[in-house]
Structure 1
Amino acid sequence: MQPEPSSSIVPVTTVLFDLDDTLFDHANTARAALATSTAGLPEFAGADMEALYQQYSEILEEMHPQVLAGKCTYEDARRLRFQRLLAPYGLARTHAAATEFAQQHYGHYQRLRQPIAGAVALLEALRPHYKVGIVTNNRTAEQQEKLRHLGMAHLVDALVTSEEVGVTKPNPRIFEVALQRLRSRAAETVMVGDNWQADVVGALDVGIRPVWLNRFAGLRPLAHVEEITSLEPLAEVLLQITGAQPPVSQKL
C-alpha cells in the first residue's frame, strides 16, 4: 500500500502529463484506423470491430515493452502484431502481406490522430501560470512529431521520454529527470495520467501528487488518489488538478 498523502498544502507550480491516452486519444484513433484498414474486406464482413480492437490492444501492450527494451524494432513489432491479429481472418499470413497491411494501417493511424477532448484547452489554460511537462514511455522523435501534429508542442516546457532517460515509468528516475529539467520540487508537482501503475504509482513513489484520468471506468485501487473521467469541463478539471490555490506565475 502507498502512504497517505501529507495534510500540508503546497501550492502547485508544475503539472506533468502522460501523452498517449492522456492528451493524445490513442484508443479512439486506433479504433478508427482499424475500421478504415478493414473497410471493404470481405473477411471482416460482420466482424466485431470492438473485439478486434481489444485484441489489437492486448498484443500492443504485450509487445510495446519489448520494443522499448530494444528487443524488437518498431517495424518488426508492427508486422508481427498484424500477423497475429489477422491470422484468424485468413489475412497477412506471409511476411510481405503483413508488412503491407501494417504500413497501410500506420498511414491511416497517423492521419486520423486526434487529441483527447479538452486536452488543448487544458494546456492553454495551464501554461501561462504553471510549468508543463510530459513524461512518456516512448521514442523521443515520435512523441515530438506527435505533439506538433496535435498542436501541443508550443504548450509544453519539457518532454521527457523513456528512450532518452533509459528507463520506463514507473521507474522513479524518469520522474526525477522531469523535475530536474523543470527545476521543480515533487511536493509542488501534479502528475496526470491514464495508466495506474506507470503514472499513479510512479508519481506516488517520488512524492508527486497523481490525478488519475480514468476514461474507461476502471476500479480505483487507492481511494485517496484523485480521479477525473474526462478533461472537460475545463473549470472543474483545472480545480481538481491545481486545487484552490491562485495561479502561480513562476516559469522557467
Structure 2
Amino acid sequence: MSYEFIYFDLDDTLLDHKSAETAGLKDVHAHFDIFENISAGKLIDVYHQVNSRQWGLYSQAKISREELQRNRFELTLKELSLDPTLYEEVGNYYMQCYRNHWQWIDGAKETYYDVVEKYPVGILTNGFAETQRKKFKAFDLYNSAETTVISEEVGVLKPHPDVFEFATERAGVDADKVLYVGDSFSSDVEGGTKFGWNVAWFTQNGESEKHKKAHYVFNDFNALRNLLKI
C-alpha cells in the first residue's frame, strides 16, 4: 500500500504523556500538605479513574471543557476525602509540573523525522488546545509537520468522524491514502478506520480481536520504520 500522507497522534504516540502525567502528580503530592496521609500511588490511581471518566463525558459532549478541568481535581479530592475547594490551586500546580516532564516516546523522535523526510506529515490530537499548541512549539512540530489538527478546535473530539473529515481535507488526499499512527483503540483505531483511513496502532495490548481492527499493530518504532521502508 502506498501512502500519500502520514498523520501522527501526539500524546502517548510521539510524546510520553503518561510518564509526564505521573511525574506531575508526584510533584503535586510532594508539594501540598493535604496529601500527607495519602500515598502518591493512591493519588495517581484515583486521579486516573476520575480523569478517564471525565474525558469520556467530555468526548460525548455531556460536560463542558470547563467542567472537565474543574471536575478532574475536585472529584479526585472528594474521592480522597480531602478539601475539594482546593481543586483550582491543585490543578494549576499540576499543569505547571506536567509541562516540565514532556519528552519523546523512545524511538519516536528519530522515526518521526525520518518519516518527515519521505512523506508529508501531520499531527492529529485530542487534548486542550493551548496545551497541545505549547507541545507543538516546544518540540518544533509546527516547522516539521505540514499541518496540525487539534480536535477541540474542530468542535468535536476523536473518534467523531468530523475530526477525520477535517483532517483529510487539510491533508488534501483521499481518505484511503492516509496512514494514521496512534495509540488509542477507540479514538485512533476505531475512529480512523471507520472514516476509511489506514491505521497503525502503537500498543502493548495483546487482544487479538482488537488487533484485527487495525491495519498494522506495532509496539516498537523500528517496526513502523520497516513498514514505511525508511
TM-score (norm 2): 0.85
The answer as to 2:193 corresponding to 1:197 is: no
Q: Name 1:239's counterpart in structure 2.
A: 226
Q: C-alpha offsets along residues 46-65 of structure 1, whole Å, 9 cap, x if unaligned? A: 7261x532322221122225
Bigger-Rg structure (1/2)? 1
User: Partners of 2:93 and 2:140 in 1: how far apart?
Assistant: 24
The answer as to 2:76 corresponding to 1:82 is: no
2:110 alignment partner AA: A
Q: 12, 30, 34: which is aligned to 1:39? A: 30
Which has a greater percent of helix? 2
SS at match of 1:191: strand
* Count of residues in correspondence between the two structures: 226
The answer as to 2:224 corresponding to 1:228 is: no
Runs of 4+ in 1 over 6 A off after TM superposition: none
The answer as to 2:119 corresponding to 1:127 is: no
- Structure 2's unaligned 5+ residue stretches are none
1:203 alignment partner AA: G
Asked if structure 1 preserves the Cα contact closer than 8 Å seen for 2:159 and 2:186, the reply is yes
Asked if structure 2 preserves the Cα contact closer than 8 Å seen for 1:15 and 1:133, the reply is yes
Q: Name 1:72's counterpart in structure 2.
A: 64
User: Partners of 1:94 and 1:52 in 2: how far apart?
Assistant: 14
Cα pair distance change 1:150/1:70, threshold 3 Å: farther
User: Partners of 1:189 and 1:210 in 2: how far apart?
Assistant: 8
SS at match of 1:212: strand
User: Partners of 1:37 and 1:125 in 2: how far apart?
Assistant: 37
Q: Name 1:185's counterpart in structure 2.
A: 174
Q: Equivalences for 1:49-198 in 2 at 5 Å? A: 49=41, 51-67=42-58, 69=61, 71-74=63-66, 76-91=67-82, 93-95=83-85, 97-198=86-187
Cα pair distance change 1:43/1:173, threshold 3 Å: closer
Q: 12, 20, 26: which is aligned to 2:11? A: 20
Query: RMSD between aligned alpha carbons?
Result: 2.5
> Greater CA deviation, 114-123 or 64-73?
64-73
1:151 alignment partner AA: D
Q: C-alpha offsets along residues 84-104 of structure 1, whole Å, 9 cap, x if unaligned? A: 22335443x142x22212211
Cα pair distance change 1:145/1:190, threshold 3 Å: same
Q: Name 1:3's counterpart in structure 2.
A: none
1:23 alignment partner AA: L
Cα pair distance change 1:52/1:221, threshold 3 Å: farther
Cα pair distance change 1:78/1:176, threshold 3 Å: closer
- Structure 1's unaligned 5+ residue stretches are 1-9, 248-252
> Greater CA deviation, 61-70 or 203-212?
61-70
